[in-house]
Amino acid sequence: MPHKKHEYLPILHNSYKKGHVLDPLFPYFDENGYLCTMKKILRVDNPNAYARQTGAPELHPLLSLICYDEVSPVHTSLNSYGVYGLFIQREFPKNLSYGVRPLELSDGSILAVAPGQFGGAEDDGRELWLSGWAVLWSPELIHNTDLEVRMRDFPFFSYFYTESLRMEPTEWQHITQLLSQLRQELEANDDSPALRYVLLGYLRLLLEYCNRIYQRQLSEETKDTTDILKRFHALLEQYYFEGRQHQMGLPTVAYCASELAYSSHYFGDLFRKATGTTAIHYIHTYVINIGKSLLMQGRNISETSRMLGFEFPHHFTRLFKKIVGITPSEYLGK
């Protein structure tokens, strides 16, 4: 994300030890607490840390609003977020990352970030002229409010959702008008409980706009899901044909989604909307159907369990009863 100044950050994080194997979504810190793979990190622990970097005015202690058309030119930065944020731009800079994953963002779209995440691009010295807005707010602003609870229903804030929210021209117009009105409120009023209540109203409306865009994108993809479902089923067949269960255990939604080039959360929503059931239920049903075939071929429960990739036979028995309604032993006795 853009900035004008640099802040070099030694990040202390005691849970990361030298040589420890980490989830590839997250950064690696050495024994001194320095980020190993990145060099320049802008720490956005409060909304105005980002406002100061862009040269935007500080309008409220818990919320910042940046109009890129007014502060450009700017530089990209790699940001460590302690706040929520929405970046609403006509055209995003190239080579952005989200965690350690590259992002390819559509023009006229929205990118959402949440506390504990990092993303952007290191400053390469170029000046960029951007058009659009950024709104960032502290978790403190929504603490103990209905919006804090509602945030759980917005999957586009997840690290595992790597799509941007693509706006229609009318949505761009409505959202930018809303942000202009929000700025007028911030400029005209000092901080108070009454103003904070108004700010929460603007954020609620803005996030519901975003959620509507998310749901529309989901619906557009589910209009032609036949190919996706066929590829999903073929992937499960390939998984067992190649014997991957012996090293990797049962197939997971995360694995299948990754192989199909989706985030796990988005694939789960897509599958549920298309079929009315969950992807994990489909996987489990597929596995148990293989198990039925193996049992009928004369394999015992222990053998079948091992061949399917279960760690213990009782795990197979428990899942079999959940899917079929009876135990494998009862099934064989039918």
Question: Model confidence over 229-261: pLDDT tens digits?
Answer: 778 888 998 999 899 999 999 999 999 988 888
Among 1, 125, 122, 3, smallest CA distance to 74 is for 3
Write the single-letter amino acid at 133: W
On whether the CB atoms of residues 74 and 128 are closer than 8 A, the answer is yes
pLDDT of residue 231: 84
Dump pLDDT digits (tens) for 83-128.
Answer: 999 999 988 877 776 655 566 677 888 989 988 887 777 777 788 8
Q: Which helix (H) or strand (E) holds 295?
A: helix 279-296
Which of 219, 242, 257 finishes a domain? 219
What residues contact residue 307 under an 8 Å CB cut-off, 6+ apart? Answer: 245, 294, 299
Phi/psi of residue 279, each to 5°? -65, -35
Non-local (6+) Cβ contacts of 203 within 8 A are 135, 137, 141, 142, 147
Strand partners, 88: 110, 133
CA-based torsion, 254, 256, 261, 264: positive or negative: negative
User: 237 and 127 in one domain?
Assistant: no
Residue 291 belongs to a domain with what CATH number?
1.10.10.60
Regarding whether 256 and 215 lie in a shared domain, the answer is no
The answer to whether the beta carbons of residues 198 and 185 sit under 8 Å apart is yes
Asked if residue 273 and residue 182 are part of one domain, the reply reads no
Picking from 219, 251, 277, the residue at the C-terminal end of a domain is 219
Q: Do 186 and 253 sit in the same domain of this protein?
A: no
State the pLDDT at residue 118.
76
For residues 63 and 196, membership in a common domain is answered with: yes
CA-nearest of 317, 297, 310, 86 to 204 is: 86
- Considering the domain architecture, whether residues 89 and 198 belong to the same structural domain is answered as yes
Angle between helices 193-222 and 169-188 (to 10 degrees): 170
pLDDT in tens, 38-85: 457 888 989 999 999 899 999 999 999 999 999 989 888 888 889 999
Domain final position from 219, 250, 280: 219
Q: Say yes or no: 67 and 214 in one domain.
A: yes
Report d(CA 81, CA 44) in Å as an integer. 5
- Tokens at 179, concatenated: 């942000």
Does one domain contain both 200 and 315?
no
pLDDT of residue 330: 87
Task: Give yes or no: residues 127 and 51 share one domain.
Answer: yes
Read off the pLDDT band of 5 (50, 70, 90).
very low
Of residues 18, 173, 7, the one with CA closest to residue 79: 7
Number of structural domains, the chain? 2
Which run of H or E residues covers position 217? helix 193-222
Judge if 234 and 213 occupy the same domain.
no
Q: Are 181 and 269 found together in one domain?
A: no
Determine the angle formed by the axes of helices 226-241 and 279-296, rounding to 10 degrees: 40
The domain of 30 spans 2-219
pLDDT greater at residue 80 or residue 212: 212
Between these two residues, 138 and 72, which has the higher pLDDT value? 138
pLDDT for residue 334: 58
CB 320 within 8 A of CB 291: yes
Token output for 188: 């005209």
User: Model confidence at 305, in pLDDT bands (50, 70, 90)?
Assistant: very high
Are residues 279 and 185 part of one domain? no
**Residue 242 class from Cβ within 10 Å (0-12 exposed, 13-18 middle, 19+ buried)?**
exposed
**Cβ proximity of 120 and 89 under 8 Å:** no
Single-letter residue type at 194: A
